[in-house]
Amino acid sequence: MPHQLNIQVGYVANRQNKMVIPQNLNYGGIGGGAASQPFNQPGLADGLRTVSPMIVLRPLGRVKYDSLQTSVNRRMSNGFQFTAAYTYAKAIDWWADNIPIPEYWYLNKAEQWGIYAAVPHKFDASAIYELPFGSGRRFLNNGGLGAKIVGGWQLNGVFTASSGKPFTVGASSVSLNAPGSLQRADQVKDKVEIYGFKPNASYFDVTAFRPVTEVRFGTAKFNSLRGPGVANLDLSLFRAVALSDTVKLQFRVEAFNVTNTPHFANPSNLNVSNLQLNPNGTVRNLNGFGVINSTQNIGREYDERYFRLGMRLSF
């Protein structure tokens, strides 16, 4: 392509079937309580009767991944190179990331949900720019004092942005009374509005959910909501100094998360049973439900902005 560009567009898919996953054989039936657990029945030997989970590994897991992946690369030319990549992906599985819900597994085998680790949108870009000053460059290449001061500098940048991780709104399992299964909330609105992060406020419309008071599973879907997206920019400035023909010293100034942008995590309290409403349906007390109170580590050494100085000697 012109301007030293290399553009790639591709479709990438993955299918995984019969994945070995843990399964609890000692789960209780809906509304049956501990008395319905298979290994808590009269007649079993004293050493076998228990209400504890009985975990086995079975080839029941399935994963489906489809994505559009694009990239643009420019090889080093005139002191500049960059690469950028964008991925649009959809991933679903049939096991809700090992959530122990065996009864729900048998009753709803056809239901699918998004995978926690997968995000629909992801963009990555990086660039290297050798400043055009000094020996062999466009400007101040006469070897004078100016070339020695401003020559040999290199600016680097890495930018990452992605959608947030999905999450499930749960509820108290008292009415479900099914040991070994987790309860989900009832979703009472067709669309759940996302408000975004505000201190001590709910990230989403909490009035779209209600606790379940009947002997059944809730209507909210697994991983149906998505947390805050993240964006991060790292910058660095290098300068190489030739000490001899074979020895070079490089000075490095690096700034991680240079914009000091918070990378908020999902709400930690997702149990709608903690929510208290007024008689008219307005919120009286969140009790932490739906509130974001932590950040996530997106893979850098630290999440907040910090600077690092260093030197590298090569010979």
- pLDDT tens by residue, 263-298: 999 999 999 999 999 999 999 999 999 999 998 877
| DSSP-based three-state secondary structure for 126 | strand
Cα separation, 158 vs 84, whole angstroms = 10
Average per-residue pLDDT for the chain: 86
Which of 109-113, 138-142, 170-174, 183-187 is predicted least confidently? 109-113
pLDDT of residue 72: 96
Residue type at position 174:
V
CB count in 10 Å sphere of residue 108: 13
Beta-bridged to residue 70, according to DSSP, are: 9, 86
Model pTM score: 0.82
- Give pLDDT tens digits for 202-252: 999 999 999 999 999 899 988 889 999 999 999 999 988 878 888 888 899
CB count in 10 Å sphere of residue 189: 11
CB count in 10 Å sphere of residue 250: 15
Cα separation, 162 vs 86, whole angstroms = 10
Residue 87: partners with Cβ closer than 8 Å, 6 or more residues away: 67, 68, 69, 70, 121, 122, 123
* pLDDT reading at 75 higher than 90: no
DSSP annotation string for 223-257? T-EE---EEEEEEEEEEEEESSSS-EEEEEEEEET
Lookup: tokens for 308: 């690092």
Cα separation, 232 vs 298, whole angstroms = 9
| DSSP-based three-state secondary structure for 148 | helix
pLDDT of residue 68: 97
Beta-bridged to residue 104, according to DSSP, are: none
Residue pair 100/25 in contact (Cβ under 8 Å)? The answer is no
